[in-house]
Amino acid sequence: MLWNLMMHTLMGWLGAHFFILTPERIGIAILAVCMTQAVDQVRLRKIKWAEIEALPEKERKSASAELEKTINRDLALTFVQSVAIYSAVVIFAAHVARVNGWL
């Protein structure tokens, strides 16, 4: 979470003159965040399956079945939430950098 926050703040700061408040540039910011969060989905999936592999053999089968039922919904909700949050972070960081002349 902290890494994502820092990365998207840096994207906004470095792209201060690119991520301006127009529909086209806001769309590009959302698209850029979608790409970063799609890669993050792979990491989250690996973490969830690693947690299952760490369980004792007897519990692993039932936990695996439960994870297979819920993982797509959980990852989709995480993706939507992250895109909304980090798109706002990118646009806000770009706006603050422009207003304060930090570039």
Domain ranges of the chain: 40-103
The encoded tokens of residue 68 equal 């297979």
pLDDT confidence of 101, banded at 50, 70, 90? confident
* Separation of alpha carbons 33 and 4, rounded Å: 10
Q: What is the pLDDT of residue 76?
A: 96
Q: For the chain, what percent of residues have pLDDT higher than 70?
A: 100
Let me know how long the chain is: 103
* Model pLDDT, residue 19: 87
Tell me the average pLDDT across 62-66. 94
- Do residues 62 and 34 touch, judged by C-beta distance below 8 A? no
